[in-house]
Amino acid sequence: MAFKTISTFTATDREVDTILPAAMALAQREDAHLTACMLGVDMTPAGGFYMGASPLLLQETLERAQADAEALEDRARRHLSGQTLRWASEAAVVQFGGLPALVGLRARFSDLVVQAAPYGPDAPPTREAVIEAALFEGRAPVLVVPDGRLPDAFGRRILVAWNQSNEALNAIRRALPLLQAADQVVIAVVNPPVHSAERTDPGGLLTGWLARHGVRCEVSVLARTLPRISDILLRHMADTDASLLVMGAYGHSRLREAILGGATRHMLENARLPVFLAH
């Protein structure tokens, strides 16, 4: 399946100026329709108004969010106008607690969601919420672009993280259009279990299936020489000159990763190249 509908969600001027052009470039490359949703987010927590407060206060915060969304849409249209790609834009107003429902509904009808990295000193809280909503509520794959720009060699060499999990396999299935177009695909298996079903041929079943889809790939079995799986994958990306990592997202619960960390969170905190995620 090709990527024919690509979506992106932006809530700040910086996101419009960085991640929207990346989504536009990918939509042009894939001959896809781009849907840009500009979010005006009311950050007032549920129950944030004291008992007896005037309803005008709530109305004021919503009107401010509406103005923010409309200003972002005007900014986005300046990027999009005159482009040869097919596109649509909308301004949406939502309270922060309602982001999962709004993003999930729109992501559900997208082949791919393109977003900025969710962590960093300047990252607003909406970024993490949007990515998780697209993955869990929308069941859509997400391409995270850390610096808001696709590398010139994007997709030529791809590293695939394989641990035999449902999340990893779903990510690979959803990334097939990119894998089929790549010059080189490396399947990375980190410290495969001795008693696993693939113990005698790590990644063998996967590479056979990918070969039937026209994907040229090889397997790299890596020892766990660093404490974190994400660090091993990042080092191997540099060793293979890969411009994209494909991996399953949140094999552990989001709560556990938020508190204790995990491969997904560590990767999103440290990756400097695009990461393709699916749950």
Write the pLDDT tens digit of every residue in 230-251.
Answer: 999 999 999 999 999 999 998 7
Q: Which of 99, 122, 145 is the last residue of a domain?
A: 145
**Co-location of 54 and 117 in the same domain:** yes
Q: Which two tokens stand for residue 205?
A: 């079943």
Top pLDDT among 46 and 220 is at: 220
Question: CA 188 to CA 72: how far, in whole Å?
Answer: 40
Closest CA to 132 of 257, 36, 12: 257
Q: How confident is the model at residue 220 (pLDDT cuts 50, 70, 90)?
A: very high
Average pLDDT rounded to a whole number, residues 122-133: 94
Confidence (pLDDT) at 45: 67
For residue 194, the tally of other CB atoms under 10 A from its CB is 6
Query: pLDDT, tens digit, for every residue of 14-71?
Result: 999 999 999 999 999 999 999 999 999 998 766 555 555 556 667 788 899 999 999 9
Confidence grade of residue 260 (pLDDT, cut at 50, 70, 90): very low
Pairing of strands 112-116, 86-95: unpaired
Q: Is residue 151 part of a domain?
A: no
Residue 121 within any structural domain of the chain: yes
Number of domains in the chain: 2
One-letter amino acid of 94: V
Question: 79: domain CATH number?
Answer: 3.40.50.620
Q: Residue 47: give the domain boundaries.
A: 5-145
In this structure, is residue 75 part of a structural domain? yes
Q: Which residue has the higher pLDDT, 265 or 141?
A: 141
Domain boundary among 145, 176, 199: 145
Query: Same structural domain for residues 123 and 168?
Result: no
Whether 95 and 42 have beta carbons less than 8 Å apart is answered as yes
- Please compute the mean of the pLDDT values over residues 263-267 and round it to a whole number: 90
User: Is residue 152 in a domain?
Assistant: no
**Same-domain check for residues 162 and 130:** no
The C-alpha atoms of residue 170 and residue 88 are separated, in whole angstroms, by 28
Check whether 4 has a pLDDT greater than 80.
Answer: yes
Q: Which of 145, 165, 198 is the last residue of a domain?
A: 145
